[in-house]
Amino acid sequence: MEAYQAFFDAHYDRTARALAIVLDDVDLAQEATQEALFRAWTRWARVSAMERPEAWLYVVALNVGRRLGRRQSRARSGGPLEDRAGDGPGFEQQVEGRLALADRLRALPPRQLEAVVLYYLADLPVGDVARAMGCAEGTVKATLSGARRNLGMRDIERSGT
């Protein structure tokens, strides 16, 4: 189970942070991530053999989060980015920048936010984002383009693409 533990360690925080942005609920994101990782553990032989098991994890976690979110009418826990800055030089600028980004992200329509989080933060390829969102790759590309326009980031590309 060392391989599963390494997978868990590599993907828990990243998945939970990405879901917290999409779901706008840190607790719900953590619960969905834990459930998805449990499902990965119970199917580890199959999941570990996949070309991109992290994509499977994001899709399952997102679906679990949506399902749990529909069932729960909980108060929002605040944004996921507000608690991430560390103390030290530039602390106030870091907080201000992150809060401004969080506000801009929250202003996006839900589908654009979902696409941005899955593509840029979860680092999924367009095909995996399309599967997670249940749409065509062209729709994802158009959605990302609209999101970049809305964020004032017309010419921004993800590193490594």
Residue 55 CB contacts under 8 Å (≥ 6 apart), including other chains: 124, 125, 128, 131, 132
Decide if 82 is inside a domain: no
In a domain, 92, yes or no: no
Looking at the fold, whether 111 and 61 belong to one and the same domain comes out as no
Could you tell me if residue 5 is inside a domain? yes
From residue 72, alpha-carbon distances to 43, 57, 68, 157 in Å are: 27, 22, 6, 36
Q: Is residue 93 part of a domain?
A: no
Helix (H) or strand (E) holding 54: helix 53-71
Question: How confident is the prediction along the chain (161 residues), in pLDDT tens digits per residue?
Answer: 799 999 999 999 999 988 888 888 899 999 999 999 999 999 999 999 998 898 899 889 988 988 888 776 434 444 444 444 445 556 566 666 666 766 777 788 989 988 988 888 778 899 989 988 889 999 999 999 999 888 877 545 554 44
Paired tokens of 160 = 């490594």
pTM: 0.62
Query: Do 66 and 6 share a structural domain?
Result: yes
Number of folded domains that form the chain:
2
Task: List the domain range (segments joined by +) for residue 54.
Answer: 1-71
Q: Is 78 a member of any domain?
A: no
